[in-house]
Amino acid sequence: MAEYPIKCSSPSEILHFIKSFKLKKSPGHDKTPNSVLQNLPTKGLTFLAPVFNTCLNLYYFPQTWKHSVIITIPKPGKPSHLSSSYHPISILPTLSKLFEKIIKKRLQSHLDESNVVPPHQFGFRSHHSSIHQLLRVSEDINKTFEKKKHTVALFMDVTQAGVPRRGEVWRSERHQNKFWEGFLKLNLM
């Protein structure tokens, strides 16, 4: 059972996430299109809430939800014999995508409430875009210029620089925090 209290999901929250699904997205190996979930009656949503809540409280991510269908889409103008010439697309089961949205909301809430994310981190945060970061840097440069001082900037392209497997970073920087320990038990890989 959860050692850290995790907020339970409700049928209304589940419905909110289901409504965010695009109808034309391909289903995973479960062959359940998003339209099936979008047409669920209230009883169906009421059934799903305790399923997801039990998974959250047990830190359990069903194995079948971890399996995906991988398709590749060729990049335009790239040689077809190179694997780097393709975009790999992982198509997950519909319930997996729904559960991931529920987990993401709880993780995001925890990060926001505990101020774990540095204030200058703009990537992967709601209400923070690259435009905001550029504005912040521009303001810093202007302030320095007004003080008749110099500004030095270093910009690095770290694309694909030692990209860790999903979850590897979290495991290498484990905190003694019960919240994180529980979510790491989900073993999303």
Show me where the domains of the chain are located. 11-116
Tokens of 159: 């694309």
Each residue's pLDDT tens digit, 97-106: 999 999 999 9
Convert the pLDDT of each residue in 95-150 to its tens digit: 999 999 999 999 888 888 888 878 777 777 777 887 888 888 899 999 999 999 98
State pTM to two decimals. 0.71
Burial (CB count within 10 angstroms: exposed 0-12, middle 13-18, buried 19+), residue 104 = exposed
Q: Name beta bridge partners: 91.
A: 69
pLDDT tens digits, one per residue of 74-94: 999 999 898 889 999 999 999
**Residue 4: what pLDDT?**
62
Q: With contact defined as beta carbons under 8 Å apart, do 146 and 140 qualify? A: no
Find, among 40, 43, 57, 42, the residue nearest to 95 by Cα.
40
